[in-house]
Amino acid sequence: MIKSRVAAVDVGNDALKGNFGKLENELYIPNVIAPDLEDRPVIGIEELDQKDVLDNIHIRVHSPALDENNIIYRVGNLATKTGNAQELDPGSSKSEEDQTLIMLFTALALDAVNTDNFNEKNGITDATYTLGTGLPLREVKEGKDVGYRSQLLGSVHQVEFLVTPKHQGKKVNIKFEEVKVYPEGFAAYVNLIMDNDLKVINKELIDKQILIQDIGGLSTDIAVIRNRNVDDDKAQGFNLGVSESLESIREEIRSKHGVELDSRSDVVDIITRKKDRNHIMVKGSRTNVHDITDHILLELAKKEYRFLRNVWAKNSQSEICYFVGGGSAVLKDYIKALNNKLDGYNIEFFEDENESIWMMANAYYKLISDFIQKAEKGKKEEEKVTSKAK
């Protein structure tokens, strides 16, 4: 019997972040796909296996969950190099997009061929996962998590590696023993109060009323946590994230400097990197683009701050708001400056931007681990009762 492997995957609008097994494997893949040909041309095909797998993901995906089935894609960094790269559009629902599933299946297949958990026979790996993942609060409130979960359960989803280093010709059949879909705001709360061993680390937060503003690529969720649960009536989701602003920056850089950036991830890198922040190379010269990034991000920060102000007004007994998500890392300095100048709310950002970006994937890992522990404990107690009855 094949043992199910733990997977905790955050299919973020900017990038997928995944934790697998006992945290011995993690994956970060830009959320970009591009339809492609089966026999993509490669310079130096003989040296294909010497290349980085994550820079050369080329697959065919077959799944009854997909609207467009059996299509060949470039995924992640490889997709950004094409003229037909696809990123999620503002206003779209993560749970209803083929791209979300393609990214998820790709990550699971990459993990499956890199672990000894599963058997490979004739180039085919049968992989079974217990998955923890999540959706924006707005989609969960609309009940879309139920359909998303049912798409994954009860079917076999296949990823075939085509012109991909080390895995060319391999196929992975993915099945799910269990799928748990968590609201992103609650996941962030769990990550704040629990460590990877599921022990409480921030006891002072447990009984506080707190806000968590999760700024993503396509949406913003503000969860209101009271009595250790998300208050469904008070929680709010907004169809605004950083993606549109990143596209505006990309377009303005193209228009003003004639420089084509491959993806939104490139824009995020320019804005957040420690060295040469807000600089690009133009015809070999280091060029400051702070004038472009500054006015666009400031406008977005004002809108995000307005969301905070409106939600806090309706939840006046809140003690603190934590800003999480990749968008928070991008807007941190602007929101802090606005807050100092205006209302002076008690707000908190994660100084380690990596922690903010990985927060959801880490939270899903804790939640799915907790679910597994409780399920195993329940099974043992049931076996004891059965044994006594005999």
Residue-wise pLDDT tens for the chain (390 aa)?
568 999 999 998 888 999 999 999 999 999 999 999 887 777 666 678 888 999 999 999 999 999 999 999 999 999 988 888 898 887 778 899 999 999 999 999 999 999 989 989 999 999 999 999 999 888 888 899 999 999 999 899 999 999 999 999 999 999 999 999 998 877 778 878 888 777 888 777 788 899 999 898 888 889 898 877 778 788 888 888 898 999 999 999 999 999 998 888 889 889 988 888 899 999 999 999 999 999 999 999 999 999 999 999 999 999 999 998 888 888 999 999 999 999 999 999 877 777 778 888 999 999 999 899 888 888 777 777 776 666
| Domain boundaries along the sequence of the chain | 5-40+48-182
CA distance 47 to 42: 10
Helices and strands (H, E) in the chain, number of each type:
11, 18
- Number of other residues whose CB lies within 10 A of the CB of residue 258: 9
Instruction: Note whether 203 and 221 are within 8 A (CB).
Output: no
Of residues 261, 234, 240, the one with CA closest to residue 249: 261
Task: For the domain made up of 5-40+48-182, give the CATH fold.
Answer: Nucleotidyltransferase; domain 5 (3.30.420)
Q: Report, in this order, helix, strand and coil percent for the chain, each rounded to 5.
A: 40, 25, 35
Residue with token string 């009323």: 209
Cα 197 from Cα 187, distance rounded (Å): 16
